[in-house]
Amino acid sequence: MDIKAYLKDKQTLVDTFFRELYSKQHHPPVLQEAMLYSLFAGGKRIRPILALASYETCGGDPRDIVPYASTLELIHTYSLIHDDLPAMDNDDLRRGKPTSHKVYGEAIAILAGDALLTEAFSILSDPSLSSKVSVSRLMEALREIALASGIDGMVAGQVQDMLSEDEEPDGDTLQFIHSHKTGTLLRASVRIGPILYGGSKAALDALTVYGSSIGLAFQVIDDILDIEGDTEEMGKTAGSDEKINKMTYPRFYGLQKSRDIAQNLIAEAKAALSVFSSEADPLREIADYLLTRRN
Ligand code: GRG
């Protein structure tokens, strides 16, 4: 299969949904402008694409869940805006552009993040957006995404990440940071496919293993890219982890072992898909793509 064309096609579905969602001007305009600035800054849309692909793997038509899948991008974008703030990673560059607070100031950047997060749950609580998803499945997906984002998910990982700066790295803390800061939202992205479709327990279990493995691998690869990557190619400042002495896989395991860990996690993710046949090919290709990505 042509994975590049597949990714492009799914990105277009998500982008079209956002353009329609924000076709009307909300008041005050600067809030919507700041939200759209970050939303259309060139993100890969990997989280909604994973949700669409796992729904397709279960037998559904991905077009039926575009609004719900897109909420993952709203939450992800909020997290990046807040992560870049001076109080957190203090980054000037994201997705190749000045960060939100550099353009709009800290207050509007914080509020644009808040509004993006809230928008996600407004969409996830609207059953009229798909005739193919029952209210009970939608509620389950909403809860999955809420749990992945908050006190036991992404925000917990972010807090541990901050607390661990300048600390001596250890394997358990590292795994906690990476699997929470980045892994839980990616795992939820994959899991909402079978949840929204009403897939079998076997499908949900297999996709949970796939989601957990690629979720952790994603952040390990991000750590490697922060060292080996190029600022222009990545669209964010290379070497920023080292600058603030972050607890990363390369810092604890070294570069080569970190590459091996990422490779093994991707192999584990693909092995979990053995319960499916060709319908899971997009998920197999996405796993390989994550390993070779340069941004
Ligand atoms: C609640 C104030 C407050 C802040 C929360 C939770 C949080 C801040 C930040 C989340 C942690 C975070 C930013 C993790 C990094 C995840 C990561 C690897 C991001 C890069 O994702 P890609 O490569 O980015 O998918 P694109 O640009 O393609 O969308």
Q: Which pLDDT value is given to residue 29?
A: 97
Alpha-carbon separation of residue 265 from 30, 108, 202, 220, 257 (angstroms): 42, 38, 20, 10, 12
Tally Cβ neighbours within 10 Å of residue 231.
13
Q: Which pLDDT value is given to residue 294?
A: 84
**pLDDT above 90: residue 244:** no
The band of 243, judged by pLDDT with boundaries at 50, 70 and 90, is confident
CA of 83 to the centre of ligand 1 (A): 6
Residue 258 CA to residue 249 CA, distance in Å, equals 6
The band of 4, judged by pLDDT with boundaries at 50, 70 and 90, is very high
Closest CA relative to residue 120, chosen from 71, 82, 154, 77: 71
CA of 215 to the centre of ligand 1 (A): 12
Alpha-carbon separation of residue 224 from 121, 209, 294 (angstroms): 33, 23, 10
- Percent of the chain at pLDDT exceeding 90: 91
**pLDDT above 90: residue 205:** yes
Q: Which pLDDT value is given to residue 234?
A: 81
| DSSP category for residue 1 | -
Which protein residue has the closest C-alpha to ligand 1 atom 18? 219
Tally Cβ neighbours within 10 Å of residue 262.
23
Q: Which pLDDT value is given to residue 38?
A: 98
* Residue 46 near ligand 1, beta carbon < 6 Å: yes
The band of 258, judged by pLDDT with boundaries at 50, 70 and 90, is very high
Alpha-carbon separation of residue 191 from 24, 141, 213, 229 (angstroms): 32, 8, 12, 30
Residue 235 CA to residue 223 CA, distance in Å, equals 15
Residue 204 CA to residue 208 CA, distance in Å, equals 6
| 10 token code pair | 């799914």
Average pLDDT, rounded, for the chain: 96
Amino acid at 165: E
CA of 154 to the centre of ligand 1 (A): 9
pLDDT (average), residues 201-217? 98
pLDDT (average), residues 100-104? 98
pTM: 0.96
Q: Which pLDDT value is given to residue 224?
A: 96
Alpha-carbon separation of residue 92 from 22, 89, 236 (angstroms): 26, 9, 8
**pLDDT above 90: residue 231:** no
Higher-scoring residue by pLDDT: 192, 169: 192
The band of 125, judged by pLDDT with boundaries at 50, 70 and 90, is very high
**pLDDT above 90: residue 43:** yes
**pLDDT above 90: residue 113:** yes
Q: Which pLDDT value is given to residue 183?
A: 98
* Residue 83 near ligand 1, beta carbon < 6 Å: yes
- Percent of the chain at pLDDT exceeding 70: 100
| 98 strand-pairing partners | 93
Q: Which pLDDT value is given to residue 216?
A: 97
**pLDDT above 90: residue 17:** yes
- Least-confidence region, from 117-131, 173-187, 227-241: 227-241
Tally Cβ neighbours within 10 Å of residue 241.
20
Q: Which pLDDT value is given to residue 109?
A: 98
**Nearest atom (ligand 1) to Cα of 46:** 25
Report the residue among 8, 80, 152, 178 best suited for mutation to probe ligand 1: largest number of ligand atoms under 8 A from its CB. 80
The band of 215, judged by pLDDT with boundaries at 50, 70 and 90, is very high
